[in-house]
Structure 1
Amino acid sequence: MSAPIEEFRFDGQPEALDALVADARPRIIRGLVKHWPLVAMARQSDRAFASHLIAHDNGTTVDALVMPPEADGVVGYRGDVEAFNFSHYKVTVTQVLQRLLASIDQDQAPGIALQSATIAGCLPKLLAEHAVPMLDPAIPPRLWIGNRVTTPAHFDEYQNIACVVCGVRRFTLFPPEQVRNLYVGPLDFAPTGAAISIARLDRPDDPRFPRLKLALEHALVAELEPGDAVYIPPMWWHHVASLGKLNALVNYWWKPPQGKGLVPNTRLGGLLHAILLFKSLPPAERAAWRELLDYYVFGDDDPAAHLPEGKRGWLGELDAEQSMKLLERIRHYL
């Protein structure tokens, strides 16, 4: 019911990142970070990998979550979206790894996951030897460690390259238009900050989610081993399953520069504002606003093409000063 994620061959070409971003499709990059010392440690053994990280831990606390064994390692909710199925902790990388190693042979181990820890913050001495050639060194790498934990389908606003450094991870990706078939949970009550699908991919016959099979028909799937990487374009839904007893991933999020204007750091605020403004309108009025948004924002045609270049105002290319004036007008309306 799914197709493999296409592979991208990287031979050190300087334009590789531009090609990935321009294509706007997920791509697997086999062996992108196979030269990393962390990958070499992982190939020796899980314990060698853990010992290498512990030796470089500076003691800074990071975010980790723990799920009871009955959660099957799937990050999400208890009951009918009543509460999250995990507890949050502030711990060190060493404490997380010690807990993982202690439970590595348990049949009913709790789900454990260290999430989105900046390597510069907790393992800064690793930075010099763990760079990605095609990426700007200013993009901060983030570390994710755990056991057999699954993060359900969710999206990010950012460009994303995720590198597996220990264990095996299965990525299942869905194009943005499949959102209607993924049964997304609440926007304001999301387990990891991003809204997630509450339909489990391993239960496609669940009668509560009949359209899930339609999403699976459009899924792209790949398994990554240590040294492999995946490029995930913005807004693509991605479901990530860690398959080993010890798994680790390093990822990079970034946004390409967009003109001279002041681009807000997040577009999610725009989505939430649109929900507040338009969702409750009568059908005819909502349809009219949809046409206006398509015309000014989402359409392919330039709505200012018929205007003199110096008279396009907010419809033209904005510099920093014009962006500030537009933001001030938005504040006035609010």
Structure 2
Amino acid sequence: MPAPMEAFRYEGQADALDSIVGGDRPVVIRGLVKHWPLVKAAGESDQAFAAQLIAADNGTPVDALLMPPEAEGIVGYRGDAEAFNFTHHRASVTQALQRLLQFADAADAPGIALQSAPIASCLPRLLDHHRLPLLDPAVTPRLWIGNRVTTPAHFDEYRNIACVVCGVRRFTLFPPEQVRNLYIGPLDFAPTGAAISMARLDRLDDPRYPRLREAMRHALVAELEPGDAIYIPPMWWHHVASLGKLNALVNYWWMPAHGSGLAPNTRLGGLLHCILLFKSLPPAERAAWRELLDHYVFGDEDPAAHIPAHRRGWLGELDEEQSRKLLERIRQYL
């Protein structure tokens, strides 16, 4: 079953970010934002936490999900993946909090999740007193609020530091190679934009997902309380369960600069392009293209080591100009 996640105690270390991200594995960062006023308010009560957010709210609508009680708070599908099990809404932070407090003690409360709200847009007054000491201020935070809601395993292309500011959240993470054991749903019909696992972690005996137990053998798990944070490397599958009547998280996505200058989401486009081009080929041709991709893209050896440096072109280090020319060639092929 899942192993405990590595933990790092943050006490102002100047090299903390390098220590955290250097291993390319998830790390719990205990006490990273314990000094935030929101965290201190959450320590008083849910009402004190909500009051502080409401005082900073400028009324800008943000995305929210509403799930019926029978969904058990798990974001996903209804029936045989015929529809999503929630409805989308636009609401202010204040409206979402009022609804959450209204249903706090209800036995049959609907699932409510305010998702990925840009704090600079809806709660700009919070920015001055809720800075993350590890990251450049240009990396902008987003807010997630809800009740007992679970987001099944999914991945992000970005590096991610997620800070719990109210309630308790359980993170269960899977390394990228476990994708085949997580039973990922449709790429073109995903509940929150990112494809999610269709298997429930609390139903390991579901005969539809026999390899889920194998995924759990490789999983890492941690529970975070207010003030704690977690670093999630790119491409790691993460299942996030909110355990309290009111939960809130602030996260930061960022991607180190790469020579190509391309936006990270271009990579997902590359995956979809590969599905279009290669998936339907006969087995021998598909195997040949796999060899080419391994040689030129995914292999550890330099495929251009034997070529003079000034002639390596697209096989060398790509700067923005070379990337632009390569994109133009791709457009010509398309």
Whether TM-score is above 0.5 comes out as yes
2:163 partner SS: strand
1:114 partner SS: strand
The code of the aligned residue for 2:162 comes to A
Q: How far does residue 53 in structure 1 lie from its aligned partner after superposition? A: 0.3
1:75 partner SS: coil
The code of the aligned residue for 2:87 comes to S
1:172 partner SS: strand
1:57-76 CA-to-partner distances (Å, cap 9, x unmatched) read 00100000000000000000
1:144 partner SS: strand
Partner of 2:24: 24
Residues in 2 aligned to 1:133 and 1:140: alpha-carbon distance in whole angstroms: 13
1:291-312 CA-to-partner distances (Å, cap 9, x unmatched) read 0000000011111111111110
| C-alpha contact (below 8 Å) 2:67/2:87 kept by paired residues | yes
Kindly indicate whether residue 129 of structure 2 is the aligned counterpart of residue 129 of structure 1. Answer: yes
Partner of 1:221: 221
Matches within 5 A, 1:145-184: 145-184=145-184
Residues in 2 aligned to 1:232 and 1:92: alpha-carbon distance in whole angstroms: 28
The code of the aligned residue for 2:327 comes to L
| C-alpha contact (below 8 Å) 1:262/1:324 kept by paired residues | no
1:65 partner SS: strand
2:128 partner SS: coil
| C-alpha contact (below 8 Å) 1:162/1:249 kept by paired residues | yes
2:300 partner SS: coil
Partner of 1:291: 291
| C-alpha contact (below 8 Å) 2:151/2:239 kept by paired residues | yes
The code of the aligned residue for 1:329 comes to R
1:20-44 CA-to-partner distances (Å, cap 9, x unmatched) read 2221000000000000000000000
Matches within 5 A, 1:1-334: 1-259=1-259, 261-266=260-265, 267-334=267-334
Q: How far does residue 16 in structure 1 lie from its aligned partner after superposition? A: 1.9
| C-alpha contact (below 8 Å) 1:12/1:134 kept by paired residues | no
1:218-255 CA-to-partner distances (Å, cap 9, x unmatched) read 11000000000000000000000000000000000000
The code of the aligned residue for 1:214 comes to E
| C-alpha contact (below 8 Å) 2:158/2:264 kept by paired residues | no
Gaps of 5+ in 2: none
1:23 partner SS: coil
| C-alpha contact (below 8 Å) 1:163/1:228 kept by paired residues | yes
Residues in 1 aligned to 2:320 and 2:199: alpha-carbon distance in whole angstroms: 43
1:49 partner SS: helix
Residues in 1 aligned to 2:325 and 2:19: alpha-carbon distance in whole angstroms: 35
Identity among equivalent positions (%) equals 77
Q: How far does residue 322 in structure 1 lie from its aligned partner after superposition? A: 1.1
| C-alpha contact (below 8 Å) 2:157/2:264 kept by paired residues | no
The code of the aligned residue for 1:265 comes to P
Residues in 2 aligned to 1:263 and 1:22: alpha-carbon distance in whole angstroms: 23
2:177 partner SS: helix
TM, length-normalised to structure 1 = 0.99
Matched positions, count: 333
Residues in 2 aligned to 1:221 and 1:124: alpha-carbon distance in whole angstroms: 33
| C-alpha contact (below 8 Å) 1:171/1:221 kept by paired residues | yes
Cα RMSD (Å): 0.8
Q: How far does residue 13 in structure 1 lie from its aligned partner after superposition? A: 2.4
Q: How far does residue 7 in structure 1 lie from its aligned partner after superposition? A: 0.7
The code of the aligned residue for 1:97 comes to L
Residues in 2 aligned to 1:325 and 1:219: alpha-carbon distance in whole angstroms: 41
Q: How far does residue 148 in structure 1 lie from its aligned partner after superposition? A: 0.2
Residues in 1 aligned to 2:110 and 2:185: alpha-carbon distance in whole angstroms: 24
1:8 partner SS: strand
Q: How far does residue 263 in structure 1 lie from its aligned partner after superposition? A: 2.1
2:327 partner SS: helix
Residues in 2 aligned to 1:245 and 1:265: alpha-carbon distance in whole angstroms: 35
